[in-house]
Amino acid sequence: MPLLEVENIVKTFRRGGGPEVRAVDGVSFSIESGETLSLIGESGSGKSTIGRIVLGLEPPDEGRILFDGQDLTAMSPRELRALRSSITAVFQEPYESLNPRMTVEAIVGEPLRLFRRELSAAQRRDRVIATLEEVGLGERVLRRHPGDLSGGQQQRVGIARALVVDPRMIVLDEPTSSLDLTVRATVLNLLRELQERHALTYLFISHDIATVRYFSRSTGVLYLGKVMEYGPTHELIDEPRHPYSVGLLSCTLSADPDVSVPAQRLEGDTPSPTTRRAGCPLVGRCPVELASCSAAPVPLMPISPTRSAACLRLAPTEVVA
Ligand SMILES: Nc1ncnc2c1ncn2[C@@H]1O[C@H](COP(=O)(O)OP(=O)(O)OP(=O)(O)O)[C@@H](O)[C@H]1O
Ligand code: SF4
Ligand SMILES: [Mg+2]
């Protein structure tokens, strides 16, 4: 049984009296325990909103989230609170997500104060020190503030805060995109080591295709709140099939000599997320669209034993033909 099952979640926002934004539009996926699933897609495609829903920070308008078989969307606030330490998060901007007035000890100890109330102050401190050691920082940073630390050290504090309550799953929302390249590699290696040591399950949100390839077993490609393509990461990145994935990856990877993604440009820019469409969201930008593409929603369909895509061109009859 997967550790996390996301079933057909929908989330809409309305700013002021303005038009509705369908930030997440019927997304489903699952993650096996100890595995990593990546979500990739342009800015505004709904990645962070999905992360926030999985974390219980936003309720979905529709759909279900099952964690270890339990339906989070049907739980009372009290039951949800008990589960909150099982799914934690590391966010993109370590400095913004760490309170600059708190010491590292207080930041990393805070989840213990909330979720491990049975621990004494001394036990809490020991646990904080042990966790800081695990992330390569140690006791020397206990009395420091975030502003005294480098970007890489700040993100290690963010990872320690996510790890200290012994979670089963961590949502990693662009955890390395604000770091420079060498620091990025060491933080990614740390995340992988921690995953192996603690059998952690990761939902990994990223713009960075190279990192996704290194990091995750499966990947979903999002566009305007919908999954366009889903499958094993290496297959999907080396041979994208959905016209949107081909366009996204060909412009991202065209500089990489090891990757031969067919060149295929999407026309125009990403439309406003407030525009409602009856059919495929890529209509108007897709170089291979059909007249039928705008008629009705195009569901995610299996296109091979391991891959799914939401595209009429890849519908099973065409694949067989
Ligand atoms: N609290 C909110 N109120 C109104 N609109 C929101 C809110 N949160 C997200 N949105 C809108 O929902 C859509 C998806 O946003 P989201 O932050 O999930 O995208 P993202 O894929 O994480 O983008 P990025 O790569 O820039 O982080 C966007 O159009 C965004 O403006
Ligand atoms: S369903 Fe049609 S418009 Fe959408 S990606 Fe496929 S061919 Fe293009
Ligand atoms: Mg985001």
Protein residues whose CB sits closer than 6 Å to any atom of ligand 2: 243, 280, 282-283, 286, 288-290, 293, 298, 311-313
One-letter amino acid identity for 237? I
Best probe residue, ligand 1, of 45, 50, 173, 270 (max atoms within 8 Å of C-beta): 45
Centroid of ligand 3 to alpha carbon of 98 (angstroms) = 17
For the stretch 283-288, contacts whose Cβ atoms lie closer than 8 Å and that sit 24 or more positions apart, written own/partner, are 285/247, 286/243, 286/244, 287/243, 288/243, 288/313
Ligand closest to CA 15? 1
Give yes or no for a contact between 276 and 294, defined as CB atoms under 8 angstroms apart: no
Cα–Cα distance measured from residue 105 to residue 88, given in angstroms and rounded to the nearest whole number: 18
**Alpha helices (runs of H) in the chain, residue ranges in sequence order:** 47-54, 77-83, 94-97, 104-115, 121-134, 151-163, 181-198, 209-215, 233-238, 243-253, 316-320
Which sequence spans correspond to the domains of the chain?
4-86+167-320, 104-166
Cα–Cα distance measured from residue 110 to residue 51, given in angstroms and rounded to the nearest whole number: 21
Centroid of ligand 2 to alpha carbon of 178 (angstroms) = 34
**Which residue do the tokens 């790890």 mark?**
163
Ligand closest to CA 267? 2
Q: What is the pLDDT of residue 260?
A: 53
Centroid of ligand 2 to alpha carbon of 312 (angstroms) = 6
181 phi/psi in degrees, rounded to 5 = -60, -40
Query: CA gyration radius for the chain?
Result: 21
Centroid of ligand 3 to alpha carbon of 204 (angstroms) = 11
DSSP class of residue 226? E
Q: Is 209 helix (H, G, I), strand (E, B) or coil?
A: helix
Task: Please name the helix (run of DSSP H) or strand (run of DSSP E) that holds residue 7, with its range, or none.
Answer: strand 4-14
Cα–Cα distance measured from residue 192 to residue 214, given in angstroms and rounded to the nearest whole number: 10
Give yes or no for a contact between 33 and 66, defined as CB atoms under 8 angstroms apart: no
Length of the chain: 321
CATH code for the domain defined by 4-86+167-320: 3.40.50.300
49 lines ligand 1 (CB under 6 A): yes
Q: Is 112 helix (H, G, I), strand (E, B) or coil?
A: helix
Centroid of ligand 3 to alpha carbon of 174 (angstroms) = 7
Best probe residue, ligand 1, of 25, 47, 224, 269 (max atoms within 8 Å of C-beta): 47
Give yes or no for a contact between 221 and 227, defined as CB atoms under 8 angstroms apart: yes
* Nearest-atom index, ligand 1, CA of 14: 4
242 lines ligand 1 (CB under 6 A): no
Per-residue pLDDT of the chain (321 residues; tens, 9 = 90+): 899 999 999 999 988 778 889 999 999 999 999 999 999 999 999 999 999 999 988 999 999 999 999 999 888 888 888 788 999 999 988 778 899 999 999 999 999 999 999 999 999 999 999 999 999 999 999 999 999 999 999 999 999 999 999 999 999 999 998 899 889 999 999 999 999 999 999 999 998 888 899 889 999 999 999 999 999 999 999 999 999 999 988 876 555 555 555 556 787 777 777 777 789 999 999 999 999 999 999 999 999 999 999 999 998 764 443
Centroid of ligand 1 to alpha carbon of 46 (angstroms) = 6
Task: Please name the helix (run of DSSP H) or strand (run of DSSP E) that holds residue 65, with its range, or none.
Answer: strand 62-67
Query: CA torsion sign, 282 to 9 to 205 to 197?
Result: negative
Query: CA torsion sign, 20 to 76 to 47 to 279?
Result: negative
